[in-house]
């Protein structure tokens, strides 16, 4: 009946424990899941806001870059670049009076006659002198053509016949042509002159003009023949290779190759500082990182190569959110585990106490029932004559001692629970403690088979101890040694010096205690697994009481044990002279 009630109680307790564990898991997981969800939502919301901010920031940088590029484009000039030139829009011929035109024709005819029979070099020298005379070179024919360029052309014709132009005369012709180029006279005459004279010139300006004339021919070739540069063209005009815009004074067009425009704009230092690159082609789809330019610069695009990213800004905040989430989650888990551990300990203690109540009830009932049966037998005159009275009295005494030992343990346990120890510490001879413990043990187990041997040196110093408490502690150890000391019940009780302490040692030669069990046997109500229920009167309080008594003596307890080789319990108590008590 007792076993059935105990099993029923255990099953009910087990069910209650699992329900409690389930509630604890729900209580831990629910806030943990909420924290994870909140952190994730916060990170996603933060990233969404930051993405909008980053897109707006990148767009603003691209807009600033476009403004900078257009400003730099407006500042571009033809300069000395061979890839740029000025195309005049006015082809109006200057009005020439007939007298000037007649004089020009007469002078030109006279010069032709003068050089007709001269050797090439002398003829060229004569022409050089003529073009240096303004009254001759600046004469104009009908249509506005100058006589000077015509004379240069005659010199080139004679040079082409001989294959060279005298070196000492080249400089003189270069100076005239250079001045002519700066005067912006009738362009068709200059174009013709430059094309013919450039191969013989040493002037950079003449060669530059020749390159520009060639470039101008290419540009004119790309223009739609129907294009009216005067009427239809207002600001800019772009072909496959060129970009033309009206000169500030409106007198002509500034024409640039697209490559020269790109090279000039790509050199803007602030673009690289902003992480923006200007690209030629304008082929990519426009995104928040690519901005296509329009109008005259429609052949270019701006690309963000080093954009501001969400990761750059949100990394620190995301880390902060994650850290906070991890901390909260960890605290939830740790607190939950602490609750579980505390609950398990409380549940374990509660279960042990329940077992204790059942065991105490059983253990108290057993000796009381035995004493009652023996007393009833002795009180019955007829049965008393048939039994050995002294033997029955001895059995009654033994059951009474067993009952008293059990009650003593519970009284000690009660003092432990109240954390009170009414110990009177005084210098005590270790031999006296051992003697009294041995006497109590022999009296407790009188008539039973065992082999107890004690070893006590004579020169041990006194210890500061409560004699009754120490006797009780040694008694518990001796009783355990008797219970678990094997079949021969061999026990060794000894005392020896150990540094500044005296070591009371109880050794048995029984089954021993595993390393795993050694960590638990000093707990209240704990019994080694194999010994549970094996010995009557054992409720798992003996060693916890021993540990309590030793701690109140400022000592310590040590255990040495190996399975199947026995155990040695050592109670180390300080010398009397080494304490302030």
Give the number of domains in the chain.
4
CATH code, 505: 3.30.565.10
Note whether residue 276 is domain-resident. Answer: yes
Domain ends where: 185, 204, 223? Answer: 204
pLDDT digits 0-9 by tens, 557-576: 999 998 888 899 999 999 98
Please tell me the distance from the alpha carbon of residue 84 to that of residue 78, in angstroms, as a whole number. Answer: 5
pLDDT at position 507 is 93
* Same structural domain, 47 and 130: no
* Same structural domain, 498 and 553: yes
* Same structural domain, 259 and 142: no
pLDDT digits 0-9 by tens, 374-413: 677 777 777 766 677 777 677 777 667 667 766 766 666 6
* Same structural domain, 436 and 487: yes
Residue whose C-alpha is closest to residue 18's, from 26, 8, 7: 26
Greater model confidence, 431 or 75 = 431
Note whether residue 543 is domain-resident. Answer: yes
Residue whose C-alpha is closest to residue 183's, from 146, 233, 217: 146
Q: DSSP state, 120?
A: H
* Same structural domain, 453 and 550: yes
* Same structural domain, 178 and 265: no
Please tell me the distance from the alpha carbon of residue 46 to that of residue 202, in angstroms, as a whole number. Answer: 69
The top-scoring range by mean pLDDT among 104-113, 179-188, 279-288 is: 104-113
Note whether residue 345 is domain-resident. Answer: yes
Alpha helices in 445-529 (DSSP H): 467-484, 515-518
* Same structural domain, 54 and 153: no
pLDDT digits 0-9 by tens, 361-373: 655 666 676 677 7
Note whether residue 411 is domain-resident. Answer: no
Q: Is the pLDDT of residue 434 over 90?
A: yes
pLDDT at position 194 is 77
pLDDT at position 506 is 94
* Same structural domain, 104 and 193: yes
Note whether residue 83 is domain-resident. Answer: no
Percent of the chain with pLDDT over 90: 9
pLDDT digits 0-9 by tens, 223-244: 877 776 665 555 678 888 888 8
Do residues 524 and 412 touch, judged by C-beta distance below 8 A?
no
Note whether residue 257 is domain-resident. Answer: yes
Note whether residue 363 is domain-resident. Answer: no
Q: How confident is the model at residue 581 (pLDDT cuts 50, 70, 90)?
A: very low
* Same structural domain, 177 and 144: yes
Average pLDDT score over the chain:
77
The top-scoring range by mean pLDDT among 50-54, 142-146, 450-454 is: 450-454
Do residues 530 and 460 touch, judged by C-beta distance below 8 A?
no
Greater model confidence, 336 or 168 = 168
The range of the structural domain enclosing residue 300 comes to 234-304
* Same structural domain, 468 and 427: yes
Determine how β-strand 490-498 pairs with β-strand 451-455: parallel
* Same structural domain, 537 and 458: yes
Please tell me the distance from the alpha carbon of residue 372 to that of residue 377, in angstroms, as a whole number. Answer: 9
The predicted model scores a pTM of 0.44
pLDDT digits 0-9 by tens, 476-508: 899 888 888 777 889 999 999 888 899 999 999
Domain ends where: 160, 186, 204? Answer: 204
Note whether residue 310 is domain-resident. Answer: no
Q: How confident is the model at residue 532 (pLDDT cuts 50, 70, 90)?
A: very low
* Same structural domain, 239 and 269: yes
Q: How confident is the model at residue 431 (pLDDT cuts 50, 70, 90)?
A: very high
Q: Tell me the β-bridge partners of 566.
A: 562
pLDDT at position 2 is 44
Q: Is the pLDDT of residue 34 over 90?
A: no
Residue whose C-alpha is closest to residue 59's, from 286, 315, 268: 286
pLDDT at position 559 is 92
Q: Is the pLDDT of residue 432 over 50?
A: yes
């Amino acid at each position: 009946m007792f076993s059935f009630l105990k099993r029923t109680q255990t099953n009910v307790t087990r069910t209650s424990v699992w329900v409690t564990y389930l509630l604890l898991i729900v209580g831990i997981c629910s806030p943990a899941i909420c924290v994870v969800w909140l952190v994730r939502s916060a990170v996603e919301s933060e990233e969404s806001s930051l993405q909008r901010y980053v897109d707006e920031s990148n767009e603003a940088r691209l807009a600033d870059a476009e403004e900078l590029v257009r400003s730099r484009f407006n500042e571009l000039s033809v300069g000395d670049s061979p890839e740029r030139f000025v195309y005049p829009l006015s082809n109006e011929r200057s009005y020439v009076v007939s007298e000037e035109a007649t004089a020009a024709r007469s002078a030109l005819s006279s010069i032709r006659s003068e050089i007709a029979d001269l050797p090439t070099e002398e003829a060229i020298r004569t022409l050089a002198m003529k073009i240096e005379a303004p009254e001759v070179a600046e004469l104009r024919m009908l249509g506005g053509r100058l006589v000077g360029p015509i004379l240069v052309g005659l010199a080139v014709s004679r040079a082409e016949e001989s294959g060279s132009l005298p070196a000492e005369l080249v400089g003189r012709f270069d100076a005239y042509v250079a001045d002519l180029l700066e005067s912006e006279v009738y362009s068709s005459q200059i174009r013709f002159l430059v094309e013919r004279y450039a191969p013989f010139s040493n002037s950079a300006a003449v060669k530059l003009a020749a390159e520009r004339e060639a470039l101008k021919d290419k540009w004119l070739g790309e223009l739609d023949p129907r294009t009216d540069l005067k009427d239809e063209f207002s600001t800019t005009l772009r072909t496959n290779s060129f970009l033309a815009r009206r000169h500030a004074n409106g007198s002509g067009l500034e024409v640039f190759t697209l490559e020269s425009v790109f090279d000039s704009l790509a050199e803007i230092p602030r673009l690289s500082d902003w992480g923006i690159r200007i690209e030629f082609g304008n082929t990519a789809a426009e995104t928040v990182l690519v901005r296509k330019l329009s109008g005259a610069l429609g052949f270019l695009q701006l690309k963000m190569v080093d954009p501001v990213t969400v990761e750059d800004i949100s990394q620190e905040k995301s880390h902060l959110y994650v850290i906070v989430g991890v901390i909260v989650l960890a605290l939830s888990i740790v607190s939950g585990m602490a609750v579980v551990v505390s609950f398990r300990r409380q549940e374990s203690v509660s279960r042990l106490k329940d077992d204790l109540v059942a065991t105490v009830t059983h253990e108290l009932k057993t000796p009381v029932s035995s004493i009652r049966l023996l007393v009833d037998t002795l009180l019955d005159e007829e049965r008393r004559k048939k039994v050995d009275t002294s033997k029955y009295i001895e059995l009654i005494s033994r059951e009474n001692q067993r009952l008293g030992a059990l009650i003593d343990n519970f009284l000690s346990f009660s003092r432990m629970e109240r954390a009170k120890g009414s110990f009177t510490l005084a210098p005590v001879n270790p031999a006296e403690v051992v003697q009294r413990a041995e006497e109590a043990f022999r009296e407790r187990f009188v008539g039973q088979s065992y082999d107890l041997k004690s070893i006590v040196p004579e020169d041990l110093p006194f210890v500061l101890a409560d004699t009754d408490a120490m006797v009780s502690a040694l008694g518990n150890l001796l009783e355990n040694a008797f219970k678990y000391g094997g079949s021969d019940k061999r026990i060794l009780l000894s005392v020896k010096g150990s540094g500044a302490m005296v070591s009371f040692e109880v050794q048995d030669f029984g089954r021993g205690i595993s390393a795993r069990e050694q960590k638990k046997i000093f707990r209240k109500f704990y019994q080694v697994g194999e010994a549970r229920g094996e010995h009557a009167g054992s409720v798992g309080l003996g060693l916890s009481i021993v540990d309590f008594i030793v701690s109140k003596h400022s000592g310590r307890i040590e255990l040495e044990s190996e399975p199947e080789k026995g155990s040695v319990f050592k109670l180390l108590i300080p010398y009397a002279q080494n304490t302030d008590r």
